[in-house]
Amino acid sequence: MSTTPDAPDAPLPDALAPDAAAPDAAALDDAAQGRIVTQHGTFRAHPVSFVRRSGRLTAGQERALERAGARYLLDVPRDVARTSVDPAWRLDVAAVFGRTAPLVVEVGSGMGENAVAAAAADPTRDVLALEVYLPGLAQAVLAGEREGVDNLRLAQVNAPELFATALAPGAASEVWVFFPDPWPKSRHHKRRLVQPSFADEVARVLRPGGVWRLATDWEPYADHVREVLRGRSDLVPLVPGSDGVVPRFEGRVLTTFEAKGLRAGRAVTDLAYVRV
């Protein structure tokens, strides 16, 4: 996830289509405040942590979706918007992957670099990558196909909705949130992904001993994460006695987005919390 996604969305079939575009200035203001109007004229109940964009897939990405989209992309029943999740739906992880194995859930997988690398590095675990931008999902399909990984699945969803209802308690061994949109303006802080309510859902979805790993190149956002998680008894710093900051996670690859931030002089903070 990032403030400037690597690639925007393209028009899609219903199963992978973006939320309806805001048609005028008033609707654009609604979108900025998280009041997302859908094609049905209804509204999301809560702000979302992303802004939908239109755009195009590359020819290679289009071909990858045609060849392997059905293999990797989950068909998620929708609610009021096309990245929403029907609250009655439950994700059967064992059925989706065809086995029972430790599950890593990455929220905001971008171009899929970390998700694909994790799946390829350890075939004994399963990786579920959640992203809203189709070119990122298509690029992950392309890379997953190239690596020949079978333990990777992708979903175009608003992650908090999937966490709230679709994932079973204790389903995940790790949750990754790398470089979420910092929403730096004060009036937009409510749109930040890491909130007490989302932390509640992460704690519910993580198994005991499971780890929530985060990384950000925006120091005020690192402060925000520490504040949200400070004093919790269910999610505590992975390093006892610390404030959650840890050395760089060895399983996190250097993505195109992170490299761009490093070249711009932005320092990266890694944080990790364990479910107790």
CA distance 208 to 274: 8
181 is catalytic: yes
Sign of CA dihedral 9, 12, 16, 22: positive
Q: Find where tokens 């993505």 sit.
A: 255
Task: State the Cα–Cα distance between residues 155 and 167, nearest whole angstrom.
Answer: 13
**How far apart (Å, rounded) are the C-alpha atoms in residues 131 and 150?**
19
Environment class of 50 (CB within 10 Å of its CB; exposed 0-12, middle 13-18, buried 19+): buried
Tokens 């009021």, residue located: 80
Of residues 19, 79, 126, 181, which has the active-site annotation?
181
User: Half-sphere exposure (CA, 13 Å, Cβ side) for 103?
Assistant: 25
Beta bridge partners of 90: none
Identify any residues that bridge with 235 across adjacent strands, giving them in sequence order: 275
Contact 159, 107 (CB under 8 A): yes
Phi and psi dihedrals of 271, rounded to 5? -130, 155
DSSP per-residue letters across 94-107: HHHHTS---EEEEE
**Under 8 Å between Cβ of 77 and 220:** no
CA distance 61 to 124: 27
Which residues are annotated as catalytic?
Answer: 181
